[in-house]
Amino acid sequence: MTSPAIFAPRSGVLARAADWAIRHPRMFVFLMVLPIVLWLGIVYIGALIALLMQSFFSIDEFSGVVQHEFTLKTYAELLRPSNFAIIARTVAMAAAVTLASAVLAFPMAYFAARYARGKWKALFYIGVMLPLWSSYLVKVYAWKLVLAKEGILTWIFAQLHLSWLLDAVLAIPVVGGNSLSVSYLGTFIVFVYIWLPYMIIPVQAALERVPAPLLEAASDLGATPKQSFRMVLLPLALPGIVAGSIFTFSLTLGDYIIPQIVGSGRLFIGQAVYTQQGTAGNIPLAAAFTVVPIVIMGVYLWGARKMGAFDAL
Amino acid sequence: MHSDTKAPLALKLSAIGGLIFLLAPIALIFLYAFTTEEKSYQFPPPGLTLKWIGVTMGRDDVWQALGLSLKVAAIATVLAMVLGTLTAAAVARSRFFGREAISLLVILPIALPGIITGISLRSAFALLDIPFSTWTIVLGHTTFCIVVVYNNAVARFRRTSGSLIDAAMDLGADGVQTFRLVILPNIGTALMAGGMLAFALSFDEVIVTTFTAGNQSTLPIWMLEELVRPRQRPVTNVVAMAVVLVTVLPILAAYYLTRDGAETAGSEK
């Protein structure tokens, strides 16, 4: 004989479903993660792997048909001078942007962490949050206004009687160009602007944790400001800088909008992927190009982890 | 760290210079929305007018793009909140096979460059024979919005004591009641913050959208087209100003609301 249940089974679909869930915890967890596993685990990851697999296929140069057999030919194509130049250009840009962001971010973060109080603190908070949260495209648009040949920057240089300086900078081969908005220099400035907040936040977080007496002790012990910066402040801020550089570096590597709008027309990795999968219809080469930033970031993250950058996030 | 000594002049100047660098371009957007110049980005503007605000208000394509962006962001946010919360609850409160893999899985769409997620989703839609529509944009946005809801919810679930739920059940609450009266009030604010982040992320997204939208335009797509091939600069100027205003006000509000608290919401995008 089975003993009667303490509570009679309740009526109503919802209540019965809830009771069922409590009695079958494993099934319930399974149902909870089912949609995510189906969508992300199968559809998204499946498509991602399918895309990456394509990089081991090659395209027939005459018919333009993808040949579905394993080959490393497409990767070899990456090393062709024109393609390799795209990779080198993107990595060099990402490195330059990261370096410039670190140099610009440090004094701001240091001032905000050590000296800013009250109104200044508020101004710094808004000054970082506003560009961070503003629409990406609106920010790029704003720089199109700033860098245009007839725009404010040219005007400022003219007012300061420094037009010759701007012209001299634009005349530099490779980085210069007709105007700032169609030069590498312009692309570089916009990249720095867009990703700078991602550097300031972790650097400031790292600096907030440095005790002020430590710096006073350094100077009491006879360190010049330069020495205490190099031997005390910088090593303590370094995890923050590395954490910020993860953002600036990876975001620059993958971006294809900024160089398309402000730039010299020479391609970056993102643009190469875009044109290869779109107009050129060479999916294997597009896939091989996407592998490049993934591998670079994998190595970068591994290195960053060794330097303890993840504790500073 | 904080010290009461005065900042060296050079440091102060470079910090102020940095602030100007960060804020001046955004301020410039406001000036250009009123310029009378139509063909170029001439500075200083030859004259100021309110005309273009009226013109923009009367533009159907702008309203349609805005409408689509709001619709997509709203649906994607709701979907991301449901999926993110379910996953967070499962990961935080039980152990099962593949639990670690799931936390990696939700981060992947945002950790990888947008273009990779975009191409992958596009080929998945092609493979599943799903025609491009508003729903493919929604699915794309949901894919990368889940992680922000998940991150917020999972942190809160970990801090919420499991014995609260046990206690509710012991006192006779059924599953639905427990969820409504105990779990939801506990995770409510975290969900709210995650939802707001997801909405902002979706509203501004352009890269994944270019791969998952047919010929519909969300507001960022509209903006991108204007950026690549400027055709109606004055209208673009006004739209840019409106977008800045929409983002500035919540930031200022959030600042004044959290000013006295120790922590500020949303330190990372």
Phi, psi of A179, rounded to the nearest 5 degrees: -145, 170
**Contacts for A284 with CB less than 8 Å, ≥ 6 apart:** A54, A55, A56, A57, A58, A59, A66, A74
- pLDDT score recorded for residue B92: 82
In tens, the pLDDT along B108-117 reads 888 788 888 8
Asked if B206 lies within 8 A of A136 by C-beta distance, the reply is: yes
Asked if A311 has any chain B CB less than 8 Å from its own CB, the reply is no
Terminal C-alpha separation, chain A:
61
CA dist., res. A225 & res. A6, Å (int): 76
The CATH superfamily assigned to A73-311 is MetI-like (1.10.3720.10)
Alpha-helical (H) ranges within B112-232 are 114-127, 134-159, 162-170, 175-178, 184-204, 207-212, 219-228
Q: Which residue of B35, B83, B119, B122 is the best one to mutate when testing the A interface, meaning the one whose CB has the most A CBs within 10 A?
A: B119
**Is there a contact between B191 and B152 (Cβ–Cβ < 8 Å)?**
yes
Task: Check whether B98 has a pLDDT greater than 70.
Answer: yes
Q: Is residue B262 scored above 70 in pLDDT? A: no
Q: Does B25 touch chain A (CB under 8 A)?
A: yes
C-alpha B265/C-alpha B269 separation (Å) is 11
| pLDDT for position B182 | 85
Between CA B111 and CA B104 the distance in angstroms is 10
* Residue B211 Cα, gap to closest chain A Cα (Å): 10
Q: How many residues does chain B have?
A: 269
Dmax of chain B from CA atoms?
Answer: 74
Residue A67 DSSP code: E
AA letter at A19: D
- Put simply, whether A27 touches B (Cβ < 8 Å) is no
User: Does B261 lie at the interface with A, CB-CB under 8 angstroms?
Assistant: no
Q: Which fold has domain B59-258?
A: MetI-like fold (1.10.3720)
Q: Do B223 and A135 touch (CB under 8 A)?
A: yes
Residue B155: per-residue pLDDT: 83
Query: Which residue is closest to B127 within chain A, CA to CA?
Result: A47
List the Cα angle A164/A170/A171 in 5-degree steps. 85
Residues of A in contact with B103 (CB under 8 A): none
Chain B hits for A145, CB-CB cut-off 8 Å, are 25, 28-29, 32, 41, 43
Mean pLDDT, rounded, for B151-160? 84
User: Which tens digit of pLDDT belongs to each residue from B189-200?
Assistant: 888 888 888 888
CB of A310 within 8 Å of a chain B CB? The answer is: no
The answer to whether the CB atoms of B255 and A126 lie below 8 A apart is yes
CA pseudo-torsion sign A80, A81, A84, A90: negative
Asked if B119's CB is within 8 angstroms of A51's CB, the reply is yes
Among B21, B19, B18, B44, smallest CA distance to B32 is for B44
Chain B hits for A201, Cβ within 8 Å: 267-268
Choose the closest CB to A196 out of B22, B26, B200: B22
Per-residue model confidence as pLDDT tens for chain A (313 residues): 455 556 666 677 877 787 787 778 888 888 888 888 888 888 889 888 888 888 898 888 777 777 888 888 889 888 899 899 999 999 999 999 999 999 999 999 999 888 888 788 888 888 888 888 888 999 999 999 899 888 898 899 889 988 888 888 888 887 877 888 888 999 999 999 999 999 999 999 889 888 888 888 888 898 888 888 888 888 888 888 988 898 899 889 888 899 999 988 889 998 998 888 877 778 889 889 988 988 998 888 888 777 766 665 5
List, in sequence order, every residue forming a beta bridge with A66; answer none if it has no partner.
A59
Could you tell me if B95 lies within 8 Å of chain A, comparing CB atoms? no
Residue of B nearest to A20 (CA): B175
**Residue among B130, B181, B41 at smallest CA distance from A151:** B41
Q: Are A232 and A218 in contact (CB under 8 A)?
A: yes
SS3 of residue A66 by DSSP: strand
Predicted pLDDT of residue A4: 58
Residue A281: how many other CB atoms lie within 10 Å: 14
Task: Give the pLDDT score at B252.
Answer: 77
Place of tokens 């591998």: A295
Chain A residues with beta carbon closer than 8 angstroms to that of B124: 43-44, 46-47
Give the side-chain half-sphere CA count within 13 A for B208.
Answer: 26
Q: Is A301 on the interface with B (CB under 8 A)?
A: no
Q: Is B250 exposed, middle or buried (0-12, 13-18, 19+ CB in 10 A)?
A: middle
- Find the CB nearest B220 among A44, A107, A137: A137
Give the contacts of A174 (CB within 8 A, at least 6 positions apart): A184
Per residue in B72-93, pLDDT (tens digit) is 999 999 999 999 999 988 888 7
- In B, minimum Cα distance to A51 occurs at B120
Q: What is the pLDDT of residues B213-244, one digit of tens each?
A: 888 889 999 999 888 888 888 888 999 999 88
Q: By the CB < 8 Å criterion, does B136 face chain A?
A: no
Enter the tokens of residue B96: 């099962």
A179: left (phi over 0), alpha (psi -120 to 50) or beta: beta
B11 Cβ under 8 Å from any chain A Cβ = yes
B chain contacts of residue A197, beta-carbon cutoff 8 Å = 22
C-beta separation of B178 from A20 below 8 A: no
Say which residues have a Cβ less than 8 Å from residue A253's Cβ, sequence separation at least 6: A90, A91, A94, A269, A270, A293, A296, A297, B113
Residue of A nearest to B238 (CA): A138
* Measured CA angle at B66 (ends B40, B52), to 5 deg: 35
- Domain edges within chain B: 59-258
| Mean pLDDT on B36-60 | 84
Among B105, B204, B252, whose Cβ lies nearest the Cβ of A136?
B204
Q: Which of A16, A115, A143 to mutate to test the interface with B (most CBs of B within 10 A)?
A: A115
Integer CA distances (angstroms), A196 to A172, A210, B18, in order: 25, 22, 10
Whether pLDDT at B265 is above 60: no
Backbone angles phi, psi at A59, to 5 degrees: -110, 140
CA nearest A214 in B: which residue? B1
B109 CB within 8 Å of a chain A CB: yes
φ and ψ at residue A66, rounded to 5 degrees: -75, 130
pLDDT for residue A9: 63
Please give the share of chain B, as a percent, with pLDDT higher than 70. Answer: 94
| DSSP symbols for A224-293 | -HHHHIIIIIHHHHHHHHHHHHHHHHHHHHH--SHHHHSS-S---HHHHHHHHHTTS--HHHHHHHHHHH
The helix-helix angle for A184-208 and A136-147 (nearest 10°) equals: 130
A25 touches chain B (CB under 8 A): yes
Model confidence at B266: pLDDT above 60:
no
pLDDT reported for residue B256: 73
A 53-72: CB under 8 A from B: none
Q: Which of A75, A190, A101 is nearest to A140 (CA)?
A: A190
Instruction: Give the C-alpha distances (Å, rounded to integers) separating A69 from A61, A75, A282.
Output: 15, 14, 15
Largest separation between any pair of C-alpha atoms in chain A: 102
* Contact state of B89 with A123 under an 8 Å Cβ cutoff: no
